[in-house]
């Protein structure tokens, strides 16, 4: 899956570090992430980024994360994020391009895609919380932890990571699949939805399946989780069994289709980078 980047391991814990010339820089703006032009994802180093035209400097950078080599602990890559004011842009010059964050998904897998998507999650949070939500004063990054602190009222915000739930409902040899009712989502997926205030993830699973498809579930089992930086969420995946009637009444506003599909009729998935596709593929191959 997208977060499986062995032999590298994400070390997301915040460290108040000073960037070094060989460290990597994530520079997002409205057009996307600054990358070296080429076939693969390649981020500018601090040295390269500083040499680009425009007014920018290391005071705009904040530590994002490290990638640590699992076997050789002294090998690591460090990444910093640009916290830029909206009106301060770096023009794209020869040899560089900007790619929308969504395009990172599908640009080849491995640590660069996961690093770029995780950086996008951090960028989305920092850039949408530039002002304190209570008093409107410009917020400042916390010094010892990944937070935003209001110098006026003392309010503190931490990265927003709302949990969502995925449910793979089976009835014998059949799996409950849905398709979203919006352009660009032709694929079959699993029932999914956000956890609401006051709910347990288990209650969300039962509610979302009932709301989206009209069926009830039993024997809910936790499968695993996946960070999904493009939407800034954490997906919690479950399997469940049909409880009672198999009659489907799908939510026409949200879905274009919901159906029970026999194991042998499930089309191959394009990749197994998302936990949804991995679960569907495993069912298709008779692994559960």
Chain contacts with Zn ion (rule: CB under 5 A): 132, 134-135, 137, 150, 152-153, 155
CB nearer Zn ion, residue 138 or residue 267: 138
How many residues in total does the chain contain? 288
Q: Compute the least distance from the CB of residue 122 to Zn ion, in Å.
A: 21
Q: Compute the least distance from the CB of residue 125 to Zn ion, in Å.
A: 17
Nearest to 212 by CA among 165, 244, 174, 171: 165
Quote the CA–CA distance of 80 and 205 in Å, as a whole number. Answer: 37
- The edge-to-edge listing of strands for the beta sheet with 8-11 is 8-11, 61-69, 76-82, 24-26
Q: Compute the least distance from the CB of residue 140 to Zn ion, in Å.
A: 11
Query: What is the DSSP track for 202-216?
Result: HHHHHHHHHHHHS--
Q: Compute the least distance from the CB of residue 150 to Zn ion, in Å.
A: 3
CB nearer Zn ion, residue 136 or residue 162: 136
CB nearer Zn ion, residue 20 or residue 153: 153
Query: Which two three-digit tokens encode residue 113?
Result: 């895609």
CB nearer Zn ion, residue 61 or residue 139: 139
Quote the CA–CA distance of 19 and 45 in Å, as a whole number. Answer: 10
């Amino acid at each position: 899956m997208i977060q499986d980047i062995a032999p590298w391991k994400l070390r997301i814990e915040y460290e108040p570090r000073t960037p070094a010339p060989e460290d990597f820089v994530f520079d997002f703006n409205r057009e996307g992430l600054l990358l070296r032009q080429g076939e693969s994802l390649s981020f500018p180093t601090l040295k390269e980024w500083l040499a680009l035209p425009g007014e920018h400097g290391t005071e705009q950078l904040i530590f994002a994360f490290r990638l640590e080599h699992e076997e050789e602990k002294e090998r690591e890559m460090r990444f910093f994020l640009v916290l830029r004011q909206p009106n301060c842009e770096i023009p794209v010059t020869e040899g560089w391009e900007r790619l929308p964050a969504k395009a990172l998904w599908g640009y080849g897998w491995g640590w660069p895609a996961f690093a770029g998507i995780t950086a996008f999650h951090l960028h989305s949070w920092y850039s949408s919380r530039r002002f304190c939500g209570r008093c409107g004063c410009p917020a400042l990054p916390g010094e010892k932890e990944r937070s935003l602190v209001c110098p006026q009222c003392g309010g503190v915000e931490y990265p927003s990571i709302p949990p969502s739930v995925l449910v793979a409902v089976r009835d014998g040899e059949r799996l409950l699949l849905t398709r979203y009712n919006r352009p660009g989502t032709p694929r079959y997926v699993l029932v999914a939805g956000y956890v609401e205030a006051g709910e347990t993830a288990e209650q969300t699973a039962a509610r979302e399946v009932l709301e989206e498809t009209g069926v009830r579930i039993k024997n809910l089992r936790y499968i695993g989780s996946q960070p999904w930086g493009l939407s800034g969420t954490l997906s919690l995946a479950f399997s469940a069994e049909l409880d009672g009637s198999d009659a489907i009444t799908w939510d026409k506003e949200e879905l274009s289709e919901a159906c029970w599909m026999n194991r042998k009729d499930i089309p191959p998935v394009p990749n197994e980078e998302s936990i949804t596709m991995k679960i569907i593929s495993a069912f298709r191959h008779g692994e559960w």
